[in-house]
Amino acid sequence: MVCHKGFTDCEYAYHEPFKCLLSGDAQPSPPPPGHFRIYGMRFCPYTERVLIYLAKKKIKAEIVNINLKDKPDWLKKVHPEEKVPALEHDGKVLVESTIIVQYLDELFPETSVLPKDPYERAVQRMLFERTSSFTAPLFKLLRTKSGPYGELHDKLEKDLVQVEPLLKNTFFGGNKPGFTDYLIFPIYERLAVFANHPEAGKYNLTSLVGTERFPHLTHWYEKMCSLPQVSILMFTSIVIHD
């Protein structure tokens, strides 16, 4: 087991580093009492959400990476839909990134990312729902192997245009990053990275990033990238339709 350190008082221990468990591999034994384990995939934005949240809250966790193209047979015991991420803690398993991070906030309220005030918490959840509208059209566009891409591009553009004015401060959370910022970042990050990919032209993604049309989102993305708990976990290697 190897530790990956990148932020104060927090480290991730990788189960069999540089390996993704696949069909035929044995399921790791349960983590010790009180310990956290994340079943994930290195390039999964939803796994990244949880890891950034853990980093922000300075919670130590073991990461078990899964090969999603050749899944181990036991993954269904962890996640009924054989997806990632999943959190294992004290004999219990939780799935879905948005549920996992809220569980962590409730478990460690002293470092809660969500506001303590019930109304403000609800406002952040509503804001997340509104800002996450571009997620589905983005991934649908990127998964489409042949054109035409126009209709998918237009839907993504429309959603981004609606998200842009929701940034009324430096972050969606105000003057400091909050719930919406940490959950939306891994999704927007894929758009920003793909827009610089040699094949981005066929998707016309370059028109959907940059200060000319999306100044608020562009500056927000730059600010998020500079956060230690984000920069250490950023998605940096990309292959379209590998």
Active site residues: 44
* Pairing relationship of beta strands 86-89 and 36-40 according to DSSP bridges: antiparallel
Q: What is the DSSP letter of 33?
A: T
86-103 burial code (b ≥16 CB/10 A, e <16)? bbbbeeeebbbbbebbbe
Is residue 57 within 8 A of residue 6, CB to CB? The reply is: no
- Nearest alpha carbon to residue 139 among 188, 69, 207: 188
Strand arrangement of the beta sheet that strand 10-14 belongs to: 2-7, 10-14, 61-65, 36-40, 86-89, 92-95
